[in-house]
Amino acid sequence: MTGMFDLSGRVAVVTGANTGIGQAIALALAGAGADIAAVGRTPATETAAKVTALGRRAILVAADLSTIEPVDRIVAETLESLGGLDILVNNAGIIRRADSVDFTEADWDAVIDTNLKSVFFLAQAAGRHMITNGRGKIINIASMLTFQGGIRVPSYTASKSGVGGLTKLLANEWSARGINVNAIAPGYIATNNTDALRADPDRNASILGRIPAGRWGDAADLGGAAVFLASSASDYVDGHILAVDGGWLAR
Ligand code: NDP
């Protein structure tokens, strides 16, 4: 690929790269020329094989982001094996569903630790390297619940609202240092995360009836937004949360 979307010579860290949105974004970035550090609790062997088939380099970094213990190691292993770190995609995330009156501290902590705390501290670890380097792209995966309240997902909504706020804060602090920090807010995307919703006929019909595009998103629908935010095409885009939602938020 040539031109403003070309990622040749760039190295991207993608968390949760073994499946769903993380895998699709890793493959889109590799398709645009980037080498990939595929970070996963479950080894992203399939993703790495597909990246290699695209002619790019891939490494597997084993990490459980329910704690921030691995964040410095993720950066160190990427620099050591791939020789740089230009793009971070903070994608790994979980959801827990229960009425707010019954919601447990364990479900609060699990979601906040993975979706918010690790997102910040991995951005910090990668950002330190990017600041030294004078350039970088950080893409946080937010949600429609960055903008809306949702229901029965209090820790998820708090985490994704927080991701939106942190995206703006880090952009404020780092844009003058050559780092663009932005987020993507996926709509309803058909992945493991949403299997249960699609399996419930009433829920599925009501979701589909509200999506202007009239279909669930595919993980591959996130690829273009990720390549844009990872490339020089977005050099003057800072603190933006880009919805890729088939029009859900426009409704
Ligand atoms: P998946 O469940 O397919 O992917 C989630 C990924 O996060 C998996 O790779 C998973 O790894 C990883 N992960 C979870 N916990 C940890 C952990 N402790 N340490 C390391 N990795 C972890 O779902 P999606 O692809 O849908 O989700 C990706 C992101 O997109 C999430 O942040 C989610 O909140 C967000 N999103 C998804 C939407 C959708 O409709 N699908 C809508 C809005 C936002 P493992 O397989 O090992 O558990």
Examine residue 250 and state whether it is found in any structural domain, yes or no: no
Protein residue closest via CA to atom 39 of ligand 1: 189
Examine residue 5 and state whether it is found in any structural domain, yes or no: no
Count: domains in the chain: 1
Count of CB atoms situated within 10 Å of the CB of 176? 8
Examine residue 223 and state whether it is found in any structural domain, yes or no: yes
Which residue out of 14, 41, 68, 241 has the highest number of ligand 1 atoms within 8 Å of its CB and is therefore the one to mutate? Answer: 41
Examine residue 1 and state whether it is found in any structural domain, yes or no: no
Can you give the residue range of the structural domain that contains 45? 11-243
Burial (0-12, 13-18, 19+ Cβ within 10 Å), 9: exposed
Instruction: Give 198 Cα–ligand 1 centroid separation in angstroms.
Output: 17
For 192-209, the pLDDT digits (tens) are: 999 999 999 999 999 999
For 100-136, the pLDDT digits (tens) are: 999 999 999 999 999 999 999 999 999 999 999 999 9
Residues of the chain below pLDDT 70: 1-2
Examine residue 73 and state whether it is found in any structural domain, yes or no: yes
Distance of alpha carbon 183 from alpha carbon 242, whole angstroms: 6
- The three-class DSSP label of residue 11 is strand
Paired tokens of 212? 């202007």
Q: Ligand 1 within 6 A of 70 CB?
A: no
CATH number at residue 133: 3.40.50.720
Paired tokens of 5? 């979307």
Which residue out of 46, 71, 73, 91 has the highest number of ligand 1 atoms within 8 Å of its CB and is therefore the one to mutate? Answer: 91
Mean of per-residue pLDDT scores for the chain:
97
Contact between residue 208 and residue 200 where contact means Cβ atoms under 8 Å apart:
no
Examine residue 57 and state whether it is found in any structural domain, yes or no: yes
Which residues belong to the active site?
156
Residue with tokens 């991701």: 163
State yes or no: ipTM above 0.90. yes
Examine residue 6 and state whether it is found in any structural domain, yes or no: no
Distance of alpha carbon 191 from alpha carbon 243, whole angstroms: 17
pTM of the model: 0.98
pLDDT for 1 equals 63
Examine residue 49 and state whether it is found in any structural domain, yes or no: yes
